[in-house]
């Protein structure tokens, strides 16, 4: 991924955050990923880690229309995903009898109410709505509006060991082509 692409993505995210009065802390911890797939317009996400503690984590994320966060799960992390601005879709995939992505039912909380849905069910979240994902629930998400600001509050975050992507080509962090100076320091720098 090119540093110029990262800088532009951060500038877009900053503009969206400011327009919705979402104030970042001093020295935010930025993370921009194309998931190693070489097409940030299609697969990409801008994240800002707001709090990282041994017990919990909080993030704010930004994605453009139809920019996909690929299908994945977490071994240990439980997370609330909150739509802060815009509208986004989240596809839920259940497990088969060997705990692989399959056609089993999915249990989630939507706005605090338990729901059991079929595999491949898509939940649409409007600003202010949330979904609670338990460990082992496979999910992928994308904005259906021009962009979405997405919050995450979760148990401890471990991007190196807890993320399980269905596509083995997906990488959480990727090499950067330094075609211009960085405007912000990334978690991976």
pLDDT digits (tens, 9 = 90+) for 41-87: 999 999 999 998 999 999 999 999 999 999 999 999 999 999 999 99
Q: Are 80 and 131 in contact (CB under 8 A)?
A: yes
> Does residue 170 form part of some domain?
no
Other Cβ atoms closer than 10 A to 35: 24
User: Is there a domain that residue 180 lies in?
Assistant: no
Question: C-alpha 4: how far from its chain's center?
Answer: 21
- Is there a contact between 127 and 148 (Cβ–Cβ < 8 Å)? no
pLDDT band of 151, cuts 50, 70, 90: very high
15 in a structural domain: yes
> What is the per-residue pLDDT for 63?
98
115: CATH: 2.60.120.10
**Domain tally for the chain?**
1
Q: Contact at 8 Å (CB) between 148 and 87?
A: yes
Q: What is the pTM of this model?
A: 0.94
* DSSP-H helix ranges across the chain: 3-19
Q: Is residue 89 part of a domain?
A: yes
Confirm whether 127 is domain-assigned: yes
**DSSP secondary-structure letter at 106?**
E
Q: For residue 140, which of 70, 45, 63, 64 has the smallest C-alpha distance?
A: 70
pLDDT tens sequence across 13-32: 999 999 999 999 998 999 99
* Residue 47 belongs to some domain of the structure: yes
pLDDT in tens, 104-126: 999 999 999 999 999 999 999 99
Q: Work out the average pLDDT over 86-106.
A: 93
Neighbours of 60 (CB within 10 A): 20
Q: Which helix (H) or strand (E) holds 63?
A: strand 56-64
Is residue 128 left, alpha or beta, with left meaning phi > 0 and alpha meaning psi from -120 to 50? Answer: left
Domain of 31, in residue numbers: 3-164
Within a domain: 173: no
Question: How much is the CA Rg of the chain, to the nearest whole Å?
Answer: 16
């Amino acid at each position: 991924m090119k540093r110029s692409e990262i800088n532009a993505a951060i500038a877009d995210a900053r503009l969206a955050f400011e327009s919705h009065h979402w104030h970042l802390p001093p020295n935010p911890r930025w993370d921009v990923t194309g998931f190693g797939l070489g097409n940030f317009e299609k697969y990409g996400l801008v994240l800002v880690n707001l709090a990282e503690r041994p017990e919990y984590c909080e993030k704010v994320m930004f994605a453009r229309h139809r920019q996909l966060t690929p299908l994945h799960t977490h071994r240990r992390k439980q997370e609330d995903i909150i739509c802060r601005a815009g509208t986004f879709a989240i596809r839920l995939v259940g497990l088969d009898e060997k705990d692989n992505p399959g056609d089993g039912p999915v249990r989630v909380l939507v706005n605090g109410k338990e729901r059991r849905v079929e595999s491949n069910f898509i939940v649409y979240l409007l600003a202010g709505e949330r979904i609670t994902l338990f460990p082992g629930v496979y999910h992928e998400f994308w904005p259906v509006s021009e962009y979405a600001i997405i919050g995450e509050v979760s148990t401890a975050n471990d991007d190196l060991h807890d993320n399980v992507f269905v596509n083995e080509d997906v990488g959480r962090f990727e090499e950067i082509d330094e075609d211009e100076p960085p405007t912000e320091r990334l978690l991976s720098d």
